[in-house]
């Protein structure tokens, strides 16, 4: 799909970088003139995706997280969150509400939250090779020219 603008950022899988990812996506998406509600939804979905990388992809080490955002035709925001961590053995099971491998302090609602706040959610994973989460959201604002 053709895109008008994009960013790509990589950062260590440290929990402090979840706020960085939220901020980067919020600033990038602002060119599309989203409502505050849309912006909050997108930032929450990104938080969940990045937190999954920190907690699940690299449970015993610090790895790399890639964040890519693109403005696609038709006021569509596409967000990719990618890691090269341990991967997910059963993606469908992982997408089940309340399922978690992160211990009893984790809610198991990450994918459910992403799915409810975004228009589409695609998850691809290979054990030992990492996971890619691609989310899209149509924003009601107008895409900036330039």
Active site residues: 48, 52, 106
Q: Is 99 exposed, middle or buried (0-12, 13-18, 19+ CB in 10 A)?
A: middle
- Are 60 and 16 in contact by the 8 Å Cβ rule? The answer is no
Distance CA(62)–CA(37), nearest Å, equals 32
- Are 13 and 122 in contact by the 8 Å Cβ rule? The answer is no
DSSP string, 26-89: HHHHGGG---HHHHHHHHHHHHHHHHHIIIIISTTS--EEEEEEEEETTTEEEEEEEE-SS--S
């Amino acid at each position: 799909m053709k895109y008008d603008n994009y960013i790509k950022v990589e950062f260590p899988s440290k929990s402090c970088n979840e706020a960085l990812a939220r901020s980067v996506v919020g600033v990038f998406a602002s060119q599309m003139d989203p409502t505050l509600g849309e912006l909050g939804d997108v930032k929450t979905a990104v938080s969940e995706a990045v937190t999954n990388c920190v907690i699940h992809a690299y449970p015993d080490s610090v790895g790399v997280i890639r964040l890519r955002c693109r403005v696609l035709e038709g006021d569509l925001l596409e967000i990719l969150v990618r890691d090269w961590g341990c991967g997910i053995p059963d993606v469908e099971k992982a997408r089940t509400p309340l399922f978690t491998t992160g211990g009893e302090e984790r809610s198991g609602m990450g994918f459910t939250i992403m799915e409810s706040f975004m228009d589409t959610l695609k998850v691809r994973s290979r054990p030992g090779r990492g996971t890619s989460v691609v989310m899209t959201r149509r924003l009601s604002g107008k895409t900036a020219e330039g």
